[in-house]
Chains A and B, each alone.
Chain A
Amino acid sequence: MIRFSNATFSFKGSAGVSDATFSVDEGEFICIIGPTGAGKTTLLRMIYMDAIPQEGSVEVAGFSSDKIRSKQIALLRRKVGMVFQDFELLDDRSVFENVALPLHVIGMSREDVHSKVDIVLDKLGLTEKSHNLPHQLSGGEQQIVSLARAIVKDPIVVLADEPTGNLDPAASFKILKLLEAIQESGTAVLMATHNYNLVKDRNYRFFEIIKGQVRVSSG
């Protein structure tokens, strides 16, 4: 589903990703660990084709970085859910509207948007907060909204970039459990974190990245 073949993306003053070769299958849970600035975010950006490799190639869900055109990048991103450390929610829109955004983008009808968002909010325990604005929620709740937005379009993979970076330990653990539930439902998850203590006892496949060099281990 995801294949890196000697992929390199480098930029001035940062490690980037160097000569990465690995693959990820459907429904896998991958934990990318490494210190800040090691290249974790760049690796994820290469998957959603925000960073096209200068050497080698990246293939995701049939789209190859060698041949992909800008219109196809939009289509690829509809198959990829993304979660960020700072949530990336729209402050002036309710929880419901934030979660519904990817469905409007793919042109789903209003009725379908409503039922789909209601199901996801119910699954993640956010139904009562659906009319709230993001600033009326705790950090943990905002990250759950971000997760809801990532999974509402039934992606093949969820990319989580330091999803627990701004959360307290209890909220971090909750997010981790939700990501595991998403993976158990058949969606692959790639989570980048510098907090090794949070994930060291989990039964994940680990990618360690240091100064852009990716080392695949079994965890």
Chain B
Amino acid sequence: MDKFIYLLMEGYRSLWRAKLSTFSSIVTIGVTLSFVGFGAMATSNLARLANESRTNYTIEVFFTQLTTDSEAQEIMNEIISMDGVREGVLITKQEAAEIYQKVFDENIYDFLDRNPLPTSCEIKLEESGLEPAEIEPVVKAIEAMDRVEKVSYPAKAITLIENYFQGILSVVALISMAILMGTTVLVSNTIRLTIYSRKDLIRILKLVGATDQFVKIPFIVEGIIVGIAGGVLSSLLTYLFIRTANSFLKFFTLPQLIWDWRVIILLLLVVVLFSILGSRKAVKKLLT
């Protein structure tokens, strides 16, 4: 335990000795990572909006004229049990006539001696997170069912929303990967510089019997500290971005961006992972 604490302290002390280069690395990592933070936060909010839209996607299923309400109920239950379907509401012939009266302010029986409106149901889909809503397979499966006359849904609108969302998601993912790779290189370079400046320490440690692990661990610790500090800085910048963006969105009565802690925690974890990779890369190259 004493050895572990000593190694942690060595990492911290070494960073403190190289204050200026450490500070500039943290700022560079923080600023570049804040773009990942903005992107992740914007994606999280877009996903929320897209999911809200998805919950409003409605598939209307019209049954044949001879289908009774109880048969329609059975078919609807079958539809609800399908993957990706959240709920369904049955609209009987009588309810359809009431809706007609409400919408057109006319009683259908006033000019027809029977109710020609079919029994139908409205189907809603489950939230699909970042994945596009799988609406086509559901529609095809319903269309193939007996006693289903017609299936109606806003295909164009759904395609537009999904394509738009998936496009943004791909761009953000690409940019984020590029920045995270850059972070690895930055951390690696910072640690490489530290290793060069601590050549005397490394030589003496090896002479007094330090194992390779003992020599390497403080540099890995340094990389993690630089990564965490950069991650925290980027979180702060992302928070400022959300606040500033919301103050603008307010003027246009657009939906407000919501701060998502999960995104920040994920960002920090990813940064730590990439920092470990970066410092390991430097250590592996210079200390073996």
Q: Which residues of A contact B201 (CB under 8 A)?
A: 90
A74 at the interface (CB under 8 A from B): yes
Partner of B209, one of A88, A106, A110: A106
Distance, CA A122 to CA B200, complexed state (A): 27
Distance in Å: Cβ of B184 to nearest Cβ of chain A = 27
Distance, CA A71 to CA B215, complexed state (A): 12
Partner of B2, one of A48, A77, A102, A107: A107
Q: Among residues 200 to 251 in chain B, which have CB atoms less than 8 Å away from a CB atom of chain A? A: 200-201, 203-212, 214
Q: Among residues 61 to 115 in chain A, which have CB atoms less than 8 Å away from a CB atom of chain B? A: 70-71, 74-78, 82, 88, 90-92, 101-102, 104-110
B17 at the interface (CB under 8 A from A): yes
Partner of B208, one of A70, A91, A108, A149: A149
Chain A interface (Cβ within 8 Å of chain B)? Answer: 48, 70-71, 74-78, 82, 88, 90-92, 101-102, 104-110, 149, 153
Q: Which residues of A contact B204 (CB under 8 A)?
A: 88, 90, 101
| Cβ-defined contact, B207 with A77, below 8 A | yes
B164 at the interface (CB under 8 A from A): no
Q: Which residues of A contact B214 (CB under 8 A)?
A: 105
Chain B interface (Cβ within 8 Å of chain A)? Answer: 2-3, 6, 17, 200-201, 203-212, 214
| Cβ-defined contact, B2 with A74, below 8 A | no
| Cβ-defined contact, B208 with A102, below 8 A | yes
| Cβ-defined contact, A77 with B208, below 8 A | yes
The chain A residue with its CB closest to the CB of B204 is: A88
Q: Which residues of A contact B208 (CB under 8 A)?
A: 77-78, 82, 101-102, 105, 149, 153
Q: Which residues of B contact A109 (CB under 8 A)?
A: 2
Q: Which 3 A-B pairs have the closest CB atoms?
A: A78-B209, A77-B209, A107-B3
Distance, CA A110 to CA B212, complexed state (A): 22
| Cβ-defined contact, A104 with B6, below 8 A | yes
Distance, CA A16 to CA B210, complexed state (A): 26
| Cβ-defined contact, A74 with B211, below 8 A | yes
Distance in Å: Cβ of B124 to nearest Cβ of chain A = 63
Distance in Å: Cβ of A87 to nearest Cβ of chain B = 10
| Cβ-defined contact, A48 with B207, below 8 A | yes
| Cβ-defined contact, B210 with A105, below 8 A | yes
| Cβ-defined contact, A101 with B17, below 8 A | no
Distance in Å: Cβ of A122 to nearest Cβ of chain B = 21
| Contact A90-B200, Cβ < 8 Å, known A48-B207, A77-B207, A104-B6 | yes
| Cβ-defined contact, B209 with A92, below 8 A | no
**Interface pairs (22), CB distance under 8 Å:** A48-B207, A71-B211, A74-B211, A75-B209, A76-B209, A77-B209, A78-B209, A82-B207, A88-B200, A88-B204, A90-B200, A92-B17, A101-B205, A101-B208, A102-B208, A102-B209, A104-B6, A108-B2, A109-B2, A149-B208, A153-B208, A153-B209
Q: Which residues of A contact B205 (CB under 8 A)?
A: 101, 105
Distance in Å: Cβ of B87 to nearest Cβ of chain A = 63
The chain B residue with its CB closest to the CB of A78 is: B209
Distance in Å: Cβ of A50 to nearest Cβ of chain B = 8
| Contact A110-B207, Cβ < 8 Å, known A70-B212, A90-B200, A92-B17 | no
| Cβ-defined contact, B210 with A74, below 8 A | yes
Q: Which residues of B contact A105 (CB under 8 A)?
A: 205, 208-210, 214
Distance, CA A149 to CA B17, complexed state (A): 23
Q: Which residues of B contact A70 (CB under 8 A)?
A: 212
Q: Which residues of A contact B17 (CB under 8 A)?
A: 92
Q: Which residues of B contact A91 (CB under 8 A)?
A: 200
The chain B residue with its CB closest to the CB of A152 is: B208
Q: Given A77-B206, A104-B6, output 14 extra A-B contacts at Cβ < 8 Å.
A: A74-B209, A74-B210, A77-B209, A78-B208, A82-B208, A88-B204, A90-B200, A101-B204, A101-B208, A104-B3, A105-B205, A105-B209, A109-B2, A149-B208
